[in-house]
Amino acid sequence: MEAVRKFDAEWKKQNAWEFLMRRVCLVLFYSIGSCLMLLPFGSSAWALVSSVMLFLGAMHFYIAPYMRCVENGKSVSLYVKLKWMPVSKREFLAVRRGYLRKFCVGTGVFLWILQQIGACLARTWGAENALFPLAFTAALYLVGIFDINRKLFQ
Amino acid sequence: MYIEFSHVTTHCKGFSLKDISFLVPEGFITGLVGENGAGKTTLFHQIMDENARYSGEIYINGVPLREHRQEFMQEIGFISQEQKFFKNYTPMQNVDLLKGFYDKFNCDLFCSKLEEYHVPGRNLSGLSRGEFIKFQMAFALAHESKLFLMDEVTAGMDSVFKKEFFKELHRLIAGEDTAVFMSTHIEEEVIRHMDYVVGLSRGKAEYRKETEKWKR
C-alpha cells in the first residue's frame, strides 16, 4: 500500500493546480453545508436536503482526483492506467477507502458538534440531534464506497 | 524467468483462447505469430491483467502466476502500443509517478537509455509510435525485467533502431535468466532473430518450432 501512497503523493504534486481547485470547491460546499447543519434536525427539511447534497458534493471533490485523470478530453480511471503495474485492485481500493474514512470521520465529528451547538442554541436538544450526524456520516461513507467502486473501471 | 502456459482457456468479448499449452524458455527469444484476431494480444492480457479469468494455469518459474502476481509483475516488462502510461506527461514525469511500484528502479539507467534511443522529453501523446516503444523499452530495462512481453512492437520501427533493438534483446538473453516473448507479423524477424516460434490460429496454439534450421 506504501507504493500506492507514494504514487498518490506524486500525483498530487504533479496535479497541484487541479487539487487546489477541487479543494476550493470542497471548502465552499463544506462551509455552506456546515452553516445549514447548524439548524437543528427537524427544523427545516429544505436545509437538511441541501446540506446532504452539499456534503455529497464535497466528498466527490475530495475523492475524485484520486480516482480519475483526463486524457484527450476523456475521463479515464486511474486504476485502469495502473492495471499493468505491480499493484493490486485490493491495495488501490484500500488506500482510497482510507482517504474516504478520514474524510467521513472528520466530517462526522464536526457535524456532531455543529448539531449539538445548533440544538442547544435553539433549545430543542433531543436524541435525534446526537444520532442524525452519525447516521448521516455512515450513509456518506456507504455512498462514497459505492462511488469509488463505480469509478474503478469506467 | 520462464513462463509456461498449461491448458489456458478463456472467453472474452465473443473470442476464445482454447487449451493453450507451451513454454517460453529463458535465454531465448520466442516469437508468437498468427493472423489478425488470432488471439495474440488476448494471450498477453491473460498474463498482465489482474482481472483476467481463465481456466488452466500460467506458471512463471514453475509457480502459478495468479498466486504471486504482484511479485512477478516486478520483473515483467510489457511493451505494446496500448497507452497504459500517462499520455499528458513526459517520460520523466511518468517515471516519477510509477517508479514507486518497483522495488528496483534504476533512474540513471532509464535516463541513459532515453538518451541512447533519442527519445524526446515531450509528453507521451506527442511521441511517435516508435518513440513510444523506445520509452517503454527504457522503462522495462530500468526496472530490471527478466521477462519481456512484446506485442507487435517492431511494426513502425525504423530500421536503424530495429537493429539496435534486436541487439539489445540478444544482449539480454545472453544473461540466460531472461526470456523474451514477442508477437510479430514480420516473417524476416522470425527467421533472423527468434529461437522458437509459436503459431496461433483462431485462439488455438497450432505449432511450436525451433527456428534454428530456418536460420541456417
Mean pLDDT, to the nearest integer, of A122-143?
88
Q: What is the pLDDT of residues B152-175, one digit of tens each?
A: 888 878 888 888 888 888 888 887
* Maximum average pLDDT range among A144-153, B2-11, B206-215: B2-11
Residues of A in contact with B101 (CB under 8 A): 3, 7, 82, 85-87
Mean pLDDT over the full length of chain B: 88
* CA pair distance B206, B20, nearest whole angstrom: 9
Q: Give the model confidence (pLDDT) of A32-61 as tens digits.
A: 998 888 887 777 788 888 988 999 999 999
Residues of B in contact with A81 (CB under 8 A): 84-86
CA triple B167-B84-B165, angle to 5 deg: 5
Spatial contact of B76 and B46, defined as CB atoms under 8 Å apart? no
Q: CA A52, CA B17: separation in Å to the nearest integer?
A: 49
Q: Which of A19-33, A34-48, A90-104, A107-121 has the lowest mean pLDDT?
A: A34-48
Q: Hey, is the C-beta of B87 within 8 angstroms of any chain A C-beta? A: yes
Give residue B119's region: left, alpha or beta (phi > 0; psi -120 to 50). beta
CA separation for the pair A107, A141 (Å, rounded): 10
CB contact, 8 Å: B51 with chain A? yes
Residue in B185, B204, B207 with CA at minimum distance from that of residue B196: B207
The three three-digit cell numbers of residue A67, written as one number: 480516482
Is B214 a residue whose pLDDT tops 60?
no
Q: Which residues contact A59 (CB under 8 A, 6 or more apart)?
A: A100, A103, A104, A107, A140, A143, A144, A147
Is the pLDDT at B216 greater than 60? The verdict is no
Partner-chain contact B50 A89, CB within 8 Å: yes
User: Are B47 and B80 spatial neighbours (Cβ–Cβ below 8 Å)?
Assistant: no
Spatial CB neighbours of A111, under 8 Å, sequence gap ≥ 6: A34, A37, A133, A136, A137
| Candidates B51, B87, B100; nearest CB to A71 | B87
In the prediction, which pLDDT does B97 show?
95
Which of the given ranges, B32-41, B137-146, B181-190, has the highest pLDDT on average?
B137-146
Count how many pairs of residues, chain A against chain B, have C-beta atoms within 8 Å.
56
Decide if A81 and B86 are in contact by the 8 Å CB cutoff.
yes
Q: Is A84 within 8 Å of B73 when comparing Cβ atoms? A: yes
Cell of A51: 446540506
Average pLDDT over residues B19-35: 89
Q: Does residue B215 carry a pLDDT above 80?
A: no
Residue entry with cell 514480420: B186
**Is pLDDT at B100 greater than 90 in this prediction?**
yes
All three cell numbers of B34, joined, read 498468427
CA nearest neighbour of B105 among A2, A86, A95: A86
Mapped onto helix, strand or coil, the DSSP state of residue A100 is helix
Instruction: Identify the closest residue of chain B to A10 by CA–CA distance.
Output: B97
Parallel, antiparallel, or unpaired for β B147-151 and B76-79? parallel
Q: So what's the pLDDT on residue B55?
A: 92
* Pairwise CB contact (< 8 Å): A7 & B78: no
Query: Measured between CB atoms, which of A2, A10, A84 is closest to B84?
Result: A84
For B97, the closest of A7, A83, A88 (CB atoms) is: A7
How far apart CA A44 and CA A116 sit, in angstroms, is 16
Higher pLDDT, B156 or A140: A140
Q: Is the pLDDT of residue B213 over 60?
A: no
CA distances in angstroms from A132 to A9, A125, A129, B215, listed in the order given: 34, 12, 6, 77
The larger pLDDT score, comparing residue B60 to residue A37, is at: B60
Which of A59-63, A147-151, B161-165, B186-190 is modeled with the greatest confidence? A59-63
Number of helices (H) and strands (E), helices first, in chain A? 6, 2
The answer to whether B54 and B10 have CB atoms below 8 angstroms apart is: yes
Residue A14: pLDDT over 90: yes
Question: Residue A77's closest chain B neighbor by CA?
Answer: B84
**CA–CA min distance A135, chain B (Å):** 35
Alpha-carbon span B137 to B148, nearest angstrom: 9
pLDDT of B212: 60
Does B100 sit within 8 Å of A10, measured CB to CB? yes
Q: Scanning every residue of chain B, which has its alpha carbon at the shortest distance from the alpha carbon of A80?
A: B84
DSSP assignment letter at A40: P
By DSSP bridging, strand B3-12 and strand B15-24 are antiparallel
pLDDT value at B16 more than 80 = yes
Mean pLDDT, chain A, integer? 89
Range with the largest mean pLDDT of A38-52, B36-50, B200-214: B36-50
Is some CB atom of chain A closer than 8 A to the CB atom of B50? yes
3-state secondary structure of A76: strand
A11/chain B closest Cα distance in angstroms: 6
Q: Please tell me which of the candidates A6, A70, A71 has its beta carbon nearest to residue B100.
A: A6
Is B153's Cβ below 8 Å from some Cβ in A?
Answer: no
A120-144 in b/e form (b: 16+ CB < 10 A) is eeeeeeeeebeebbeebbeebbebb
